[in-house]
């Protein structure tokens, strides 16, 4: 008889705990604050990180790359329009033009000097031009692969994690960045502000 009472008490205790556990999982964390299923992080890339990702230190060209990571753990499609970011974004061609090597004049000047004074040195100068051209192509491909373009909206699908980079000029110091994601299902904006 004692074991039946213990069994009934255990069942009643578990039944009273179960709804609280279900409520905690459905949207609130342990501190009682509302949990959003979208996580956004922004990070300024330093010179070494920029060189690793793009092959060039863009800080030398007065361009600040900022990495944007969005983790969408919701079942909703989200949109990010670059116009919703409160920073003046650079387009891919502007970034490429600011940081690329000048191939034609570098190759022409070294080849002409070597043709006049020591013609066998013309071969390495042409090789230098070819290397600069190849380096520019690689840099352009890397920028276009990672950039959050200033003229294209970005779709973040349900349960997707994306990482994009946008670029701003370093004329003014950047301390905060605000952006809005648009939730297609709810037809609402999700604001986010980051401090660097």
Residues 19, 83, single domain; the answer is: no
Is the same domain home to 29 and 114? no
Angle at 94 between CA 190 and CA 127, to 5 degrees: 135
Quote the number of domains for the chain. Answer: 2
138-168 pLDDT tens trace? 888 888 887 776 677 889 999 999 988 888 8
Determine the pLDDT at residue 35.
44
Residue 171 belongs to a domain with what CATH number? 2.60.40
| pLDDT grade for 7, boundaries at 50, 70 and 90 | low
**Residue percentage of the chain with pLDDT more than 70:** 67
Residues 123 and 176 placed together within one structural domain of the fold: yes
Question: Is 99 in the same domain as 191?
Answer: yes
Q: Which has the higher per-residue pLDDT, 33 or 104?
A: 104
- Residue-range definition of the domain harbouring residue 80: 37-195
Residues 119 and 80 in one domain: yes
Give yes or no: residues 117 and 142 share one domain: yes
48 and 114 housed in the same domain: yes
Query: Could you tell me where the beta strands, DSSP code E, fall in the chain?
Result: 38-44, 63-72, 78-80, 154-156, 160-169, 176-183, 188-195
d(CA 85, CA 196): 15
> Average of pLDDT values for 169-179?
82
Q: Is 105 found in the same domain as 31?
A: no
If one compares 86 and 13, the residue with the highest pLDDT of the two is: 86
Q: Do residues 93 and 71 share a domain? A: yes
Give pLDDT, residue 3: 65
Domain shared by 90 and 177, yes or no? yes
d(CA 154, CA 177): 18
Instruction: Give whole-number Cα distances, 90 to 37, 66, 86, in Å.
Output: 30, 11, 13
Q: What is the pTM of this model?
A: 0.65
């Amino acid at each position: 008889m004692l074991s039946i009472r213990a069994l009934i008490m255990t069942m009643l205790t578990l039944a009273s705990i179960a709804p609280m556990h279900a409520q905690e999982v459905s949207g609130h964390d342990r501190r009682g604050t509302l949990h959003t299923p979208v996580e956004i992080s922004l990070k300024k890339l330093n010179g070494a990180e920029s060189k690793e990702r793009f092959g060039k230190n863009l800080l030398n060209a007065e361009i600040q790359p900022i990495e944007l990571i969005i983790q969408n753990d919701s079942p909703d499609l989200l949109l990010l329009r670059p116009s919703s970011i409160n920073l003046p974004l650079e387009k891919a061609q502007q970034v490429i033009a600011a940081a690329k090597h000048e191939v034609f004049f570098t190759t022409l000047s070294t080849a002409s000097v070597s043709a006049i004074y020591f013609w066998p040195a013309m071969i390495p100068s042409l090789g230098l031009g070819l290397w600069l051209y190849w380096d520019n192509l690689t840099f352009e491909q890397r920028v276009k692969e990672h950039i959050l373009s200033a003229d294209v909206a970005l779709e973040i699908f349900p349960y997707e994690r994306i990482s994009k980079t946008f670029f701003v000029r370093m004329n003014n110091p950047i301390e905060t960045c605000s952006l809005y994601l648009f939730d297609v299902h709810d037809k609402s904006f999700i604001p986010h502000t980051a401090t660097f």
